[in-house]
Amino acid sequence: MLKRSLYVRIVGTFITVVVLSVLISYFTMSFFFHNEVIFDEEVKNVTSGVAEIIELTELEDVPALVETFQTYYFNIMIFHESGEPLLDQYPSIPLSDSSIIDVFYSAEEDPVILPHGKREASRVAGIPIEIEQEPYALFLHLDYEEEMLSIKKLVVSSLLFVLLIGSLLILLASRRLVTPIKKLTNAAKEMAKGNFSVRLKSKDKDEVGELITSFNHMASEVEKIDKMREDFVSSVSHEIQSPLTSIRGFTKAIQDEVVPKQNEKEYLDIIYQETERLSRLSENLLRLASLDSEHHPYHPEVYKLDEQIRRTVLATEPQWKSKNLQILLELDTVEIYADQDLLEQVWLNLFINAIKYSPPEGEIHIHIQEDTSGVKVSIKDYGKGIPEEAIPYLFDRFFKVDKARTNSIAGNGLGLSIVKKIVMIHHFSIEVSSKEGEGSVFTVLIPKQQNDTGQTS
C-alpha cells in the first residue's frame, strides 16, 4: 500500500511536471513567434532588396525576374496604382482589398507588414515602387508555416520522448527511495509484535539514512527499557517471594508444633520482620512509581536544612541508640529551596543506610557546609564500606552489594534509587566515596539556586 502510493506520487509528480512543460513551451513558442520582431525586420529587408532590383529592371523583363524569384520561394505580386496586376498569373498571396491602397498611403518609404492574423510564420510585406516612372505596389510573401509546424512537432515529440524515458528512470529511482521506507515499515511492524532486536543497515547520509539511524536508536532504547522492565518484574517477584517463603515456613512449623514452645517468640519475630520487609517493599515501590510519573507531587519551598537534618536524627534515635552509635553533627545554618517531604526521604534513606552498615559502637558524621558553589551535605560512616566495582550500580533499582544476606538488616535495594530519583528531580547531584572496611561518605550537592521567591540559597 505504502509502496504503491509513494510510487504513484513520485511518478505522478514527474509526469505532471513534464506534461505542463510541454504545454507551456508549445504555447509560448507560438506566442513569441507570432510577435516575432526579428522575423518582421527580415521580411522588410528582403522586400526592400527585391524592390530595388525590380526598380532597376526594364518593364518587359519584370515577369521573367519575378518567376526567377519564385523558384527561390519568394512569392511576388506587383500591381499598378490603378489596381491592375502587372503579371497575368500570380501565386496566391493572401491580400485584402485595401492592401494596395494601404501600401501607397503609408507615409514611410519602408515596406509595411500586412496584418497576418493567426498565421504565425507567414508574413506579407508591401512597398511602393516605380518601374519606368510608373507607380506600382510590390508584395512579397515569405511563408515558413510548414517549417514552423515541423519544428513544433519536433519539440513536442522530443518532450514526449523525455517524458517516456524520464518516467522509466523515475520509476527505477523511486524504487531506491521506496525500498528503505518499506524496510522501515516492516521493521516497525516487527517491533510492534514485540521483537525489539530489529536493526536496519544504512550507508546513506541523507534524510532516509538519518531516519534509519533514529529508528535503530529508538529500537535499542526500547530494547533497553524492555530489558529493564523484565529485570524489574523478576526482581520484584524475587523480593516478594523470599519473605513469603520464610513466613510460610515458620508459620507452618509453629502450626505443626515442630517448634519448641520457648522458641516460638523468636520465630514470630522473624515472621513480623518479614511482613515489615514486605510492607517496606510495597511502600518503596509505590514511592518510586509516584516519582517516576510525570505528576509526582513536587512542592518546593525555602526552609532550614539544618533543622530538617536534626529532626531526622531524632526520629531515628531508637535505631542508632540500639547499636550504640555516636552521631556527630556539624551543621551550618542554611536555608535551601526544595521539596521538604522529598528531601526528608533522602536524609532518612542515607542515614538509615549509615546506621545499618555501621558496626556497633561506631560513629556517624553529618556535615552541612556552605560555600560559593552551594551547599554540601555529607553523611559519613565507618562501616563495612562498598567495593569499588559495586559503586557504579549503587543507585540501580534492587541493587544490593550482598545479595545473599537474608537477616533483618537486609533491605530491598530500592532506598538509594529513590534517593537518586529525588536528587535528580531537584537538579541536585550525589557523590559516593567509599573504601571497603573503612566506611563510606555520601555527599549531596545542592548548587546555588536562583529560586522562585527571588532569594538565593
Minimum gap (Å) between residue 397 Cβ and ligand ADP: 8
Residue 99 as a binder of Mg ion (CB under 5 A): the answer is no
Q: Which residue ranges make up the site for ligand ADP (CB under 6 A)?
A: 349, 353-354, 357, 381, 383-386, 394, 399-402, 411-416, 440
- Output the residue with the shortest Cβ distance to ligand ADP: 411
128 touches Mg ion by CB under 5 A = no
Find all residues with CB under 8 Å of 286, minimum gap 6, and list them: none
Least distance in angstroms from the C-beta of 295 to ligand ADP: 24
Q: Give the residue with the Cβ less far from Mg ion, 128 or 411.
A: 411
- Bridge partners, residue 143, by sequence: 122
Task: Provide the β-strand partners of residue 337.
Answer: 302
What is the SS3 assignment for 301?
strand
Coil, strand or helix at 2: helix
- Residue 92 backbone dihedrals phi, psi, to 5 degrees: -75, 115
| Cβ atoms of residues 222 and 196 within 8 Å | yes
Q: CA nearest 379: which of 369, 387, 367?
A: 367
Q: How far apart are CA 385 and CA 362, in angstroms?
A: 13
Query: Half-sphere exposure of residue 278, counting CA atoms within 13 Å on the CB side?
Result: 16
The distance of closest approach from Cβ of residue 436 to ligand ADP in the complex, given in angstroms and rounded to an integer, is 9
**Residue 411 binding Mg ion, by CB under 5 A:** yes
- Give min distance, CB of 440 to ligand ADP, in A: 4
Q: Which is nearer to ligand ADP, 320 or 337 (CB)?
A: 320
Alpha carbon of 26 to those of 52, 162, 209, 217: distances in Å? Answer: 38, 15, 41, 52
Cβ closest to ligand ADP, residue 19 vs residue 424? 424
Which one among 353, 358, 378, 457 touches Mg ion, defined by CB under 5 A?
353
**Minimum distance between the CB of residue 278 and ligand ADP, rounded to whole angstroms?**
13
452 contacts which partner out of ligand ADP, Mg ion, none, CB within 5 to 8 A by kind?
A: none
Question: Is the Cβ–Cβ distance between 366 and 313 less than 8 Å?
Answer: yes
Q: Does 345 bind Mg ion (CB under 5 A)?
A: no
> By CB under 5 A, is residue 415 in contact with Mg ion?
yes
Grid coordinates representing 291 are 516519582
Alpha-carbon span 12 to 7, nearest angstrom? 8
Cβ 288 to Mg ion shortest distance, Å: 13
Identity of the residue, 144 or 399, whose beta carbon is nearer to ligand ADP in the bound complex? 399
Q: Applying CB under 5 A, what is the total number of residues that bind Mg ion?
A: 3
The contact set with Mg ion (CB under 5 A) reads: 353, 411, 415
